[in-house]
Amino acid sequence: MATSDRMDRLRHAVKEAAEALAQEPAIVNDRAKPATAGDLYVFTLAVDAALEWLVVREHPDDPDLLLVVPADDFPLAGTSDVALPHELVGRPLTARCGDAFWLPRRAYPSRLRVGALPQEALRLVRRKLDDLSHRQTLGSGEHVQPNIDPEYESWIGLVRQSRELLQRRADRMPIDLGQVIPFAQLASALPQALGSVRPYALAAESGSPLLATLSEALGADDARYHEILLNEGGKLILLADENGVRGVWSGPANSPPPRLVAFGQAGEPSEVTWHQGPEGHLHRAEPHLTWVDGQVIFEIGTDPSQTLTIQR
């Protein structure tokens, strides 16, 4: 299958780390508080690298900018990295200080915070950053000594790619998220426009564990719905599930579906295309919009246009 095993493993590792950290009340004392030095975040990035992001300090001239350093458990470390002592962080973790950069505070939603590092660990990172700063390398992405290990070079390449992606996203994402609807507040009942729930024929009679599981998987409706009645006519339905959000439009034959824009991994706005169903009653938006940092931001081309964010 095209879904790579490596990616699955990485995603799994990030999830496990986040869960483990979330269960440490001494470190994560208040998930709602704004980003603070020492906090660790995990962002959605389509890169084959499982990274956490350590908030190091506020910008001295602009408290809305926070310096962040990528950190990971890749076993090799270069001269601009800090391998944090196990006794301080309880796990392998190396801060890649050569790739530190400034990120606006709004790019750190609290729901993406997975933990925090003790002050002593944070001090080690700051010391390395000061050292690098003295050598005037901060922000250049250049590592002080040649790191000749090709595996290390390859890893640092992924780290840099992630940093650039995150930076671009922060620059391009809308500042105003508009109406924010948490996943839990979406409707669980199938909207009328999509028909009614139908049973799966013979599923219970198959006598086969595989077929029973397949039928169950198809029958499982973990989707949530948000309906928007449009003044121009028709109804926009947003279907959200664990993978993301899809737009479906139901409207009169002579009325086109609305313009719908969503923001992708790199924060780029992208207009969906609408495809008419075989019976002509429904239109389906392509592509399916995956969660980016646990949310999908839409701009709906109504008059006036409206911004809507659905968050997991």
Partner 1 sequence: MTASIFAPSPTAVGDERLWLTNPVYCIERLIDQWVGTDLDWATLPEKLSRLIDCLSLHEIRLPPEAMAKWAERGFLGSGHRLECATEFDYPRPGVVGLVVDSVVGDVWVVPLRAEKSSEWSADPTLPFSPPTVLQDLLVLLLTALKLPNAGAVPERFAFTIRDSLGRPCSGPSMNVAGVLAIIREANGNPPLLDGACAVVQADGDNLVQVASVRPKLEAFVREYGRGTLLVRHRQCAEAAAFDRSFDHCWVVSSVSDFAERLERQGFLRTFIKSIPLDLGDADVVGARLRRLKDSHHRYAEALDLSSRIQACGFRSNVPGELRREVRRSITDLYRHLGYHEKAEQLAREEVKRSLHLVASSYDAQALADVSLAAALFDSHRFEETVGILQPWYERLAAEPLIVLPMTRVMVFNTLGRARVTRGDTGWEEPFRRSLDILLQWEPTDLPRTLCYLAHGFIRHGLPKDAEEVLRQIEEHPDIHEVSRWFLRFYQAEQARRGGMQWISEDMENASPDRGRVGHPFGFYFQATARQAGRAADDAGRRFELASEFFLLEAPGTEYLNIQHFLADCMRLASAAWRNDRDLWDESRAAIAGRIKPAAGSGLVTYYSERFNALGSTPNREATEAFLTRVPFF
Q: Examine residue 217 and tell whether it contacts partner 1 (CB under 8 A).
A: yes
Contacts (CB under 8 A) with partner 1, residues 148-207: 194-195, 198-203, 205-206
Q: Examine residue 248 and tell whether it contacts partner 1 (CB under 8 A).
A: yes
Stretch binding partner 1 (CB under 8 A), from 70-78, 97-105, 254-262, 271-279 = 271-279
Output Rg (C-alpha) for the chain, integer angstroms.
23
Alpha helices for 23-135 (secondary structure H) = 86-89, 119-134
Q: How far is the CB of 283 from partner 1 (least distance, A)?
A: 8
Contacts (CB under 8 A) with partner 1, residues 22-51: 46
Q: Is 222 strand, coil or helix?
A: coil
Q: What is the rounded CA–CA span in Å between residue 165 and residue 89?
A: 27
Residue 195 or 233 having the CB closest to partner 1: 195
| Binding residue for partner 1, selected from 110, 287, 305, 306, defined by CB under 8 A | 287
Q: How many other C-beta atoms can be found within 10 angstroms of the C-beta atom of residue 228?
A: 18
Token pair 């400034």 is found at: 102
Of 293, 309, 308, 279, the C-alpha closest to 108 is 293
Q: What is the rounded CA–CA span in Å between residue 146 and residue 104?
A: 31
User: Beta strands of 34-109 (E only): which ranges?
Assistant: 39-41, 52-58, 65-72, 81-83, 94-96, 101-104
| Binding residue for partner 1, selected from 218, 256, 269, 306, defined by CB under 8 A | 218
Q: How far is the CB of 257 from partner 1 (least distance, A)?
A: 12
| Binding residue for partner 1, selected from 130, 277, 305, 306, defined by CB under 8 A | 277
Q: Cα angle at 137 between 132 and 140, to 5 degrees?
A: 135
Total site size for partner 1, rule CB under 8 A: 48
| Binding residue for partner 1, selected from 85, 92, 157, 219, defined by CB under 8 A | 219
Q: How far is the CB of 50 from partner 1 (least distance, A)?
A: 16
Q: What is the rounded CA–CA span in Å between residue 193 and residue 225?
A: 11
Residue 37 or 194 having the CB closest to partner 1: 194
Q: What is the rounded CA–CA span in Å between residue 208 and residue 206?
A: 5
Q: How far is the CB of 69 from partner 1 (least distance, A)?
A: 28
- Interacting residue ranges for partner 1, rule: CB under 8 A: 1-5, 7, 46, 194-195, 198-203, 205-206, 208, 210-211, 213-215, 217-220, 223, 239, 241-244, 246, 248, 275, 277-282, 284, 286-290
